[in-house]
Amino acid sequence: MPQRRNASKWMKQRSNATMLKWLFTLIAALLVLGLLTPWLNRLGLGRLPGDLRVKHARGTFYFPFTSVILMSLLLSLLAWLFGR
């Protein structure tokens, strides 16, 4: 029985480490995206047809639907090319 408890504890630790790694990856990706935003705007991303900008008294809300789809396709293509 003690071996089973140790295995369960080990799996929880491994699961927490994996979750922490994904969290750091997500934070790093958001940081890079935030730093690249000015250059991506110069390339026209964010002003494509399908990108919505709603101006309201409380502020401007931005929904870049088309830009997100385009970036997803580009990143998927790059991942596929590097994965070959």
Task: Give the number of other CB atoms < 10 A from CB of residue 66.
Answer: 16
Query: What pLDDT sits at residue 27?
Result: 92
For residue 43, which amino acid is it? Answer: L
pLDDT per position as a tens digit, 10-69: 666 777 888 888 899 889 988 888 888 888 888 888 888 998 989 999 998 888 899 889
pLDDT of residue 10: 62
pLDDT the model gives residue 6: 62
Distances (CA, A) of 7 to 4, 46, 69: 5, 49, 42
